Structure 1
Amino acid sequence: MGFLHTWLLFTLVRAADPPCKLWGTPDIPQLRKVGDVTIGGIFSFHNSWEEMMPTFTSKPEQPKCKSLSLREFQNAQTMVFAIEEINNRADILPGVSLGYKIYDSCGSIEMALRASLSLVNGENASQMSCQRPNTVQAIIAETSSTPTIATSSTVGPLHLPLISHFATCACLSDRKKHPSFFRTIPSDYYQSRALAKLVKYFGWTWVGALRSDNDYGNNGMNTFIKAATEFGVCVEFSEAFFRTDPREEILRIVDIVKKSSSKVIVAFVSYSDMEVLLGEIAQQNITGLQWIGSESWISDMNIASGKWQHILRGSMGFAIPKAEIRGLKGFLTKLNPSSGIDLYKELWETVFDCKLPSQQTVGSRSMCTGNESLDNVQNQYTDVTELQIANNVYKAVYAVAHAMNSIISCSKLDTNQSKCLEKVNNTWQVLNALREVSFYTETGEKVFFDKNGDPAARYDLLNWQQGEDGTTEFVKVGFYDASLQPGFQLSFNNISIVWAKNQHQVPVSVCSESCPMGTRKAVKKGKPVCCYDCIQCAEGEISNETGTMEVATIGYYDATQPRGQQFTMNNVNIIWGGGLKTVPVSVCSESCPLGTRKAVQQGRPICCFDCIPCPSGEISNTTDSKSKISPFSYFSCLVEKYQSAHLLNLSVEKPEAFTVQIIISRRPILCLCEILNKQVLGEQHRLEPKQINLGLHKVSDQLQRVSFVDGYGENVFFDENGNPPASYEVINWQLREGEVQHVTVGYFSTSTEGTYKLTVKEDNIRWNTGNSVLKACI
């Protein structure tokens, strides 16, 4: 009875669903709009903050943000633009209006966490339910990895989707730690390896490394050093710093760079940290270094146009491909400071260096006249020529909209909005829909997420070159695509690269020069393997190549690639034993000439054979033939047969690229072209003359479904692993007329259904006793 009373009391308490009480002052978003469904946003509108010293007599005050970031302001406005654009469309979320709440984190982890909790809890404490708070359906955040990791750890257990436009730490791909995280920018795992391949490509085996002292820099540089070591690159120094570090720490790092012997510096640094470092480097006028940058700063126009641009000219690095967002320029410039939004007023006063009439005049600032216009301003906020990161925000908003559009069924004619929005109010359903989202932007870019919530990893390789007007231009000189085979991921254009100090010759950055002929390497004690002395060869040893004992990467093996694509050879010259530059030959018997076949020598391995003429009724039109025609010979015979009958005209172009062009006559294709006729061209019986170019992906896709019987009655198909049916002949070695011959006495085969069949003609078998009957030993 007591248990039942307790249970009824618990049920009554649950039914009452009392409101939760929010302790402390609620945080108010900087930008907001009410809608049927709300998307949250967290951006670093300001780069830093002023710490408020605690008095211990009152509640601690929130830090005061300072130093407005025009770049982040543009990103936030892009989110607003995307939401407004979706609200005006009839094909996405019809009958549903999107709203937004956007907070400022000031680059602080603490403030980012406060903002994320505010988005989860809502603002109105008196009406907030403990069971279902007034939460958002997804959050777009954040600009750097460290606050994003903290935010993801907070909202992940709540199944609240978090999509970042600029958090690149590879650690965020861990689905166990970040189950609800997605991003529209590639993971740094791919960028770090791309940088290592770039360094190796140009022969820089001795480099310096700088990184931001946060998750972005530490994880990215760790992956780079690991990959670079695999490629034979040595790192002279690796230093970390943060923009808020004391000036003495920044000067210490600058001194290391100044005294180093490496001529190439790899900087895995955020753009805000890079500005602090460059200020000190410019003051000491350190020039002549080749800078290799990460995507955070290599495409930052503010850094490229700064007072230190002469130091960075010739820099190179990977960046997110540029994009175009139609209508964004006009949206950014129509901002009105009289709207009553404090953030808009701050932007206006920052851009035009004036004070609005409602504000008090401070210092030398004059009052704003009201005639100012953003249409005539060119800065990071209004510039839409470099929209890599803003485009990521744009794609993130559309990804959320497409996910919600797939799970709700509202229309403009619905009168009961709450019913059709039931599913979207469950954030876990939005989370599941995001995992399956796939769409194309108006510019033709495909947006999707892999199993880790990551997009496809593709980068442009940029080179900083001086334009005709003296300003720095970002010139695309190459491309990196992580989805390709290792040997083809990094490619270059036919555009000449400009290096440090406007040089056109690749700079050299090595610890020790290659050893001349007659000497060999001797690694210096306590130094990396890239640092060595060149000593004379010992008596009886020779060296006729420079740089003896160097290890050259001649290819790659990747077991994750499809069969036939796992091993890739580089275009390098291999040095064989004895200094030979041609592949040495090591065979027991030379290949059999045309018209002959192999006959294994009695008592010898199968690699040792004689070449005897083909028996009557058999042909051999390729060297090294066995008793039967090779697959290629069979293919050639069929081609010759059908070409002579004017049924098929087949020509192979560029065999190294595995592309085939097929010209079809009016008559149907038979036998050899079964796969093309049935799988690619359809069940057509009469075809007009035309030329068909088949892409590799299409041929590969159709090959997986091939199943036909060839002219010899053999069933041809491939299983799920790409293997043909297992078909074997049972061979019996028999001595006939003084010569060992291979006699077929049975067959073993499998079928498409996976069944097995063994057929043996026992009467044809000759055992080791020479009898046709095998006596059992009992």
Structure 2
Amino acid sequence: TMGQAVNTLGLHLRLNTGTPGWCLTLGDFVLPAQEAAGDILIGGLFPLHIVVSEPELPFTKRPRPGQCSGFDFRAFRWLQTMVFAIEEINRDPDLLPGIQLGYRILDSCDHVHTGLRGALSLVNGSSGWADADRPCLTGAPVPAIIGLASSSPTRAVAHTLGPFDIPLVSYFATCECLKDKRQFPSFLRTVPSDLFQVRGLVQLVAHFGWRWVGAIGTEDDYSRYGIQAFREQLAERGGCLAFYATLPKAENPERLAHVADALEASSARVILAFSTEGQLYGLLSEVARRNLTGRQWIASEAWVTASLLSGPQFRDTLAGTLGFAFRKASMPALGDFLLRVRPSPAPNSVFVNAFWEELFGCRLDFTGGADEAPGSNQPSCSGAEDVRGRNSVYSDVSQLRVSYNVYKAVYAIAHALHRLLCCDGHVHLWCSFQLLSYLKRVNFTTRFGEKVYFDSDGEPVPLYDIVNWQRDSRGIITFKTVGTFDASAPVGEQLRMDQSTIVWTGGETQVGHGGCPFCPPGTRQASRPREPICCFDCLPCADGEVSNQTGSSECMKCPQYHWSDPDRVACLPMLEEFLSFQDILGVVLALLSVLGVTVTLVVTGIFYRFRDTPIVRANNSELSFLLLASLALCFLCALLFIGRPSPWSCWARQATFGVAFVLCISCILAKTMVVLVAFWSTIPGSNAVRLFGPTQQRALIFSCTAVQVVLCVSWLTWDPPSPIKNTSYQAGRIILECQDGAILYLVLGYIGLLSCICFDLAFLGRKLPDTFNEAKLITFSMLIFFAVWISFIPAHLSSPGKYTVAVEIFAILASSFSLLLCIFLPKCFIILLKPEKNIKKGMVSK
């Protein structure tokens, strides 16, 4: 089935490419290539050379392609990683079983023109590839390409291949511009976009308080888009670029000198270099020649682990460099594979041969020194030399970052081909045209434990390591990971660093100054109108905000229930405030409550001791004892308002208060009606006493109290009070209080209704004979009751914090004392001090 699918794919490729009768080939790009035959070929474009000479344009004949020079050992390692991954897949019995992958890899020379030539050569295929006597896909156009390294060549190639849905999977092109699927519909990459790197770089710069930053870039999309985004985002955080210098594409000593002059003249000591290692090499050579040290270099991912720049000549200049790097993987098998490479006279070993001659500085006997400069006298080499004897970046597998991206790109294409050729177990004619669709949907886990997939824009998960260039004991620069950046994490948790492990430029252990003046912790910088952005005033943070770093551009708001300390450098838990038994006010109110209960019990004891005397019997002793019990309950419920609010205390305090006060008012109402009925019964023919006897009195008290109980039960069922933390009353303090709900007003309103009825009835009996006129005492007590609760309303609304509860307790105690003293004090006075009046004759003398 898999073989039939391969033949189907080959048939459709022949029908849609340069077969005679269908398309006319205007020319054949005969380019050096490293290739291996297979059932399906994967294309590759790698910048094996980093310098391209500009071709002459005579406009009278076809121009000759530019000559590539400056062999890049790092890029050759990327190429070998692709070969390693393909050979590994061919040995895998589960992935593409029965299918042999081949490859055709060309040199892009890190240039737009050479990159396009290579891409067109790959998709056109070799001459005569569709001959009947050759395997159907040997020499055929490749169905997918892995490449390129730089954004500008990648953009040109992706724009060309997009209309044909030929997948281009990049391992190093990071420009955000390539995210546009309308222009680059077939572009994917295993490397995060510069969008995320720039965000991380800005957060990194802001984290250390650097506001005055110099920038160095190149004349390509990678640098142009990256530095533009960096400038904009840095400005949002209050920083700016001290200068922005552009490196030339080709070697130009004069322009490089101008850039070095700008670097030397600038006051900025933090320099961001958004460039590739090859383009930056010339400038750094000039900087090292001038001995321009003391600059803190910030590296983009394109050169942050470049061994080319970590050599002895740049140690004083670049030691302490900090930058973002792709996540790395440990691949011991790749290290062994790299050491097994050997040159060969075969045409498909042209790159291996060039690598060998460059690495050993020799001329292979079977190459004839094709790339040898005229007049040079290089020794010959046999190809049996040992690569281990050369300490080169090629064999250094300690920082496999871009190589790992190449590895993931190869496996992504392999998984997509596997799904395409299987087509869920069936072969269909249309399957061969859907490689791009399958590639967009790959989802697999590498043998190193990383999950690989693409989002809707063909982007991978944006993960970075933060790398610091540090010298070891021998003075050699090593790349040490000091943190991570995960752009998919929540804001504020993306950048993670162990700052204690960072070694800064010059071997310093303390972070350097960013050029601009710094605002101390606890303040923020405020820009001055019509002055440069690095000229600002330091303003204290507002209440509830802090800045715990030097040079903060804004203050951070404290988390909920936290407040800034006096220095505005730390957020402290807010002080919780409630009326407690440890407060003097709480102790006083609690003592008054206990005093009220004590006085009530004393009065109860007096009434019980003299229960058979006329004055007690005349005042309906049963109602009096019930009233005293309800008053004691009123005094006790005040204690529920003191202490830390909890769900049970919030439920109990208002419900107990409401029921106790209604019981108290109901007893007073019954006593008032008893007094009125007693005198109305003297009217001839009146049977009022029989109609309002003890049974009716109990029924009145029970029914009035039952209504309040029903209201409280409904309140606690539907809208129960609950403890809340109120931070709106006073800054920096949490007022712990109960949120009572709307039904509380019905409970209080019912108390007010009964009080008004009681007052009206007592007012009607105010002119009765003095000796028996308890209604006059009730009237006076109710007037005090109304005065207390009417004054309570504005006092309650205007009292802050714990004093709100204190006002309510005071109102409860004051109204309870008024009822107790006004109704029972005169009777106790007669019982204890005027016993001669506590006789029946004395009671009816008037």
Select which of 258, 261, 272 maps to 2:278.
272
Closer/same/farther in 2, CA of residues 522 and 118 from structure 1, 3 Å limit: closer
Does the CA-based 8 Å contact 2:193-2:459 persist in structure 1?
yes
Corresponding residue number in structure 1 for 2:356: 348
Separation in structure 1 between the aligned mates of residue 753 and residue 363 of structure 2, nearest angstrom: 104
1:47 CA drift (Å): 0.9
Matches within 5 A, 1:328-339: 328-339=334-345
Corresponding residue number in structure 2 for 1:378: 391
* 1:549-572 CA distance string (max 9 Å, x none): 9742416xxxxxxxxxxx989999
Give yes or no for the alignment of 1:402 onto 2:402. no
Give yes or no for the alignment of 1:104 onto 2:126. no
Select which of 76, 79, 83 maps to 2:82.
79
Corresponding residue number in structure 2 for 1:391: 404
* 1:586-632 CA distance string (max 9 Å, x none): x9xx76889xxxxxxxxxxxxxxxxx99999x9999637599879xx
1:520 CA drift (Å): 11
Closer/same/farther in 2, CA of residues 451 and 434 from structure 1, 3 Å limit: same
Name the SS of the counterpart of 1:200 in structure 2.
Answer: helix
Does the CA-based 8 Å contact 1:337-1:348 persist in structure 2?
yes
Closer/same/farther in 2, CA of residues 551 and 350 from structure 1, 3 Å limit: closer
Does the CA-based 8 Å contact 2:466-2:483 persist in structure 1?
yes
Corresponding residue number in structure 2 for 1:623: 645
* 1:665-687 CA distance string (max 9 Å, x none): xxxxxxxxxxxxxxxxxxxxxxx
Does the CA-based 8 Å contact 2:28-2:121 persist in structure 1?
no
Closer/same/farther in 2, CA of residues 263 and 90 from structure 1, 3 Å limit: same
* 1:351-377 CA distance string (max 9 Å, x none): 111112234465221121454122322
Separation in structure 1 between the aligned mates of residue 366 and residue 551 of structure 2, nearest angstrom: 75
> TM-score, normalization: structure 2?
0.62
Gaps of 5+ in 2: 1-15, 370-374, 541-546, 582-633, 653-716, 719-740, 755-846
Corresponding residue number in structure 2 for 1:123: 126
Select which of 222, 239, 244 maps to 1:238.
244
Matches within 5 A, 1:358-757: 358-360=366-368, 363-409=376-422, 420=427, 425-426=432-433, 429-493=434-498, 495-514=500-519, 527-532=531-536, 551-554=553-556, 573=564, 623=645, 734=746, 736-738=749-751
Select which of 199, 203, 206 maps to 2:209.
203
- By percentage of residues, which structure has more strand? 1
Task: For 1:86, give the aligned amino acid.
Answer: I
Corresponding residue number in structure 2 for 1:156: 162
* 1:212-246 CA distance string (max 9 Å, x none): 22111111112222222222223212222234163
Moved more, 247-256 or 394-403: 247-256
Task: For 2:360, give the aligned amino acid.
Answer: F
Name the SS of the counterpart of 1:210 in structure 2.
Answer: strand
Closer/same/farther in 2, CA of residues 122 and 622 from structure 1, 3 Å limit: farther
Does the CA-based 8 Å contact 2:248-2:255 persist in structure 1?
no
Number of residue pairs matched by the alignment: 581
Separation in structure 2 between the aligned mates of residue 284 and residue 77 of structure 1, nearest angstrom: 37
Closer/same/farther in 2, CA of residues 251 and 730 from structure 1, 3 Å limit: same
Corresponding residue number in structure 2 for 1:309: 315
1:26 CA drift (Å): 2.7
Separation in structure 2 between the aligned mates of residue 343 and residue 54 of structure 1, nearest angstrom: 28
Identity rate, percent: 35
Closer/same/farther in 2, CA of residues 570 and 229 from structure 1, 3 Å limit: farther
* 1:293-331 CA distance string (max 9 Å, x none): 111111111211241121111111111122122421222
Name the SS of the counterpart of 1:425 in structure 2.
Answer: helix
Moved more, 73-82 or 229-238: 229-238
Does the CA-based 8 Å contact 2:196-2:487 persist in structure 1?
yes
Task: For 1:88, give the aligned amino acid.
Answer: R
Does the CA-based 8 Å contact 1:43-1:105 persist in structure 2?
yes
Separation in structure 1 between the aligned mates of residue 412 and residue 548 of structure 2, nearest angstrom: 55
1:277 CA drift (Å): 1.2
Task: For 1:171, give the aligned amino acid.
Answer: C
* 1:22-66 CA distance string (max 9 Å, x none): 112333451112222121111111112233324445432222222
Does the CA-based 8 Å contact 2:33-2:351 persist in structure 1?
yes
Gaps of 5+ in 1: 1-12, 538-544, 556-566, 595-611, 631-711, 714-728, 742-778
Separation in structure 2 between the aligned mates of residue 547 and residue 172 of structure 1, nearest angstrom: 37
Name the SS of the counterpart of 2:355 in structure 1.
Answer: helix
Separation in structure 2 between the aligned mates of residue 614 and residue 278 of structure 1, nearest angstrom: 85
Corresponding residue number in structure 2 for 1:327: 333
Closer/same/farther in 2, CA of residues 349 and 225 from structure 1, 3 Å limit: same
Does the CA-based 8 Å contact 2:420-2:431 persist in structure 1?
yes
Task: For 2:159, give the aligned amino acid.
Answer: S
Does the CA-based 8 Å contact 2:210-2:270 persist in structure 1?
yes
1:463 CA drift (Å): 1.2
Separation in structure 2 between the aligned mates of residue 444 and residue 623 of structure 1, nearest angstrom: 52
1:495 CA drift (Å): 4.5
Closer/same/farther in 2, CA of residues 548 and 187 from structure 1, 3 Å limit: closer
Separation in structure 2 between the aligned mates of residue 171 and residue 95 of structure 1, nearest angstrom: 39
Separation in structure 2 between the aligned mates of residue 201 and residue 571 of structure 1, nearest angstrom: 23
Name the SS of the counterpart of 1:337 in structure 2.
Answer: coil
Does the CA-based 8 Å contact 1:52-1:61 persist in structure 2?
yes
Separation in structure 2 between the aligned mates of residue 40 and residue 548 of structure 1, nearest angstrom: 51
Separation in structure 2 between the aligned mates of residue 357 and residue 423 of structure 1, nearest angstrom: 50
Give yes or no for the alignment of 1:95 onto 2:102. no
Task: For 2:116, give the aligned amino acid.
Answer: L
Separation in structure 2 between the aligned mates of residue 570 and residue 276 of structure 1, nearest angstrom: 56
Does the CA-based 8 Å contact 1:458-1:480 persist in structure 2?
yes
Corresponding residue number in structure 2 for 1:171: 177
> TM-score, normalization: structure 1?
0.67
Does the CA-based 8 Å contact 1:554-1:574 persist in structure 2?
no
* 1:477-521 CA distance string (max 9 Å, x none): 11111121111111123743211111112111232354999x998
Name the SS of the counterpart of 1:530 in structure 2.
Answer: coil
Separation in structure 2 between the aligned mates of residue 343 and residue 424 of structure 1, nearest angstrom: 35
Does the CA-based 8 Å contact 2:294-2:506 persist in structure 1?
yes
Corresponding residue number in structure 2 for 1:661: none
Does the CA-based 8 Å contact 1:614-1:620 persist in structure 2?
no
Closer/same/farther in 2, CA of residues 364 and 526 from structure 1, 3 Å limit: farther
- By percentage of residues, which structure has more helix? 2
Corresponding residue number in structure 1 for 2:615: none
Separation in structure 2 between the aligned mates of residue 366 and residue 79 of structure 1, nearest angstrom: 31
Name the SS of the counterpart of 1:297 in structure 2.
Answer: coil
Name the SS of the counterpart of 1:66 in structure 2.
Answer: strand
Task: For 2:498, give the aligned amino acid.
Answer: N
Does the CA-based 8 Å contact 2:521-2:551 persist in structure 1?
no
Task: For 1:399, give the aligned amino acid.
Answer: A
Separation in structure 1 between the aligned mates of residue 550 and residue 90 of structure 2, nearest angstrom: 67
Task: For 1:187, give the aligned amino acid.
Answer: S
The CA RMSD measured in Å over matched residues stands at 4.3
Separation in structure 2 between the aligned mates of residue 434 and residue 160 of structure 1, nearest angstrom: 11
Does the CA-based 8 Å contact 1:137-1:425 persist in structure 2?
no
Name the SS of the counterpart of 1:351 in structure 2.
Answer: helix
